[in-house]
Structure 1
């Protein structure tokens, strides 16, 4: 029987998550595709609605096998860099010839780019249980210059914890960002899992 990684993904926490995604890389696209994964397209559409110059560089953080890169490219984004923990996921992304650069990062090291290097950062299906911790939100936001755009999603598993939605509200209250779009809709429809997609501007 083929291993169903989605059955495990949301309960996978702590160190070694890159090994979990390395193991999943070969079947990831088939499995999420069978479940109707639509969050990348939703995020890319929102970003495209607000980023008029689509030649400006976009960071696809947690790019995985490149499904989010495909969605961004479909919306006309020309210059996309990808970063991920998983070498095997990155190998799959590399075959798509979507990215200007692809870089493996470490979960215990700061992202290797400077504030303002990217006019937009995408963290699509990246922050939540079984994936990146919530503090990655703060790290990525800090790397945007004022006026930079941040598109991300929190799925239902993340939103069960009020800390996720509260993170957005807290940043708005502190004057760190402005939410331009917020849309609750399908994530993995075959599993009846939804997500909230946010498009925010760094202040």
Structure 2
């Protein structure tokens, strides 16, 4: 089953992305799980290895139906807030019972600065989802020593601007890349991803 997955990488703007994910919400969990969705657990474990206080609130940006929040909860994170563009996806996230708060956001909307010492953007940035601007949005909102875990799947890695966005922070010393690993994303369709953990300096 790859009906919506086949469409996901062709969405080109915030409106079409929101519409796609609103329509996909009811079958999203089943479709990605059938294809072995591995990135959420990989991201959660990578972040856990670099965070001292698992009781500190974490922001799950682009939380979707909550599979990322479930992975964070299973890894030991205790207080998780989620935000997403899609109201239908957020309805799915509410059923997971792992979030303290869930809110819908607008594309490019501001985040509270220094509100979270850890953030996650799991499966969020790339073709058919959010642009690399989201990385900069999250990094600006992080406090010093704050950590961000995120992923780029193989489609996102085809665009050099995405890893170039990481370099914009690390090359000037504004952030340090703590972790990078290539591995399974959706093995059912042969798709892999990089997982990253970055620390703001």
1:152 CA drift (Å):
0.2
Q: Aligned with 2:49: secondary structure? A: helix
Q: Following TM superposition, by how much is the alpha carbon of 1:116 offset from its aligned partner in structure 2, in angstroms?
A: 1.1
User: For residue 4 of structure 2, what is the aligned residue in structure 1?
Assistant: 5
* Structure 1 equivalent of residue 40 of structure 2: 40
Relative to the length of structure 1, the TM-score reads 0.96
Residue 110 of structure 1 deviates from its aligned partner by: 2.2
Which segment drifts farther, 3-12 or 66-75?
A: 3-12
Contact 2:121–2:149 (Cα < 8 Å) also in 1: yes
Which blocks of at least 5 consecutive residues in structure 1 are unaligned?
none
Deviation at 1:108, TM superposition (A): 4.6
| Structure 2 match to 1:77 | 77
How far 1:96 moved relative to its partner? 1.2
Alpha-carbon distance between aligned partners in 2 of 1:77 and 1:3, rounded to the nearest angstrom: 31
| Cross-structure match for 1:157 | 155
1:37-116 map, 5 Å: 37-111=37-111, 114-116=112-114
* CA contact 2:147–2:200 (8 Å) conserved in 1: yes
RMSD, aligned CA: 1.1
CA distance in 1, matches of 2:2, 2:37: 18
| Counterpart for residue 116 of structure 2 | 118
Structure 2: unaligned runs, 5 residues or longer: none
Question: Runs in 1 of length 4+ with deviation above 4 angstroms?
Answer: none
2:132 matched residue in structure 1 = 134
Equivalent of 1:182, from 180, 183, 187?
180
**Whole-angstrom distance in 1 between the partners of 2:123 and 2:97:** 21
Q: For 1:133 and 1:43, locate their aligned partners in 2 and report how far apart those are by CA, in whole Å.
A: 19
SS class of match (2:3): coil
Give per-residue Cα distances to partners, 1:172-194, cap 9 Å, x unaligned.
11111101110011100011111
**Cα distance in 2 between the residues matched to 1:130 and 1:110:** 21
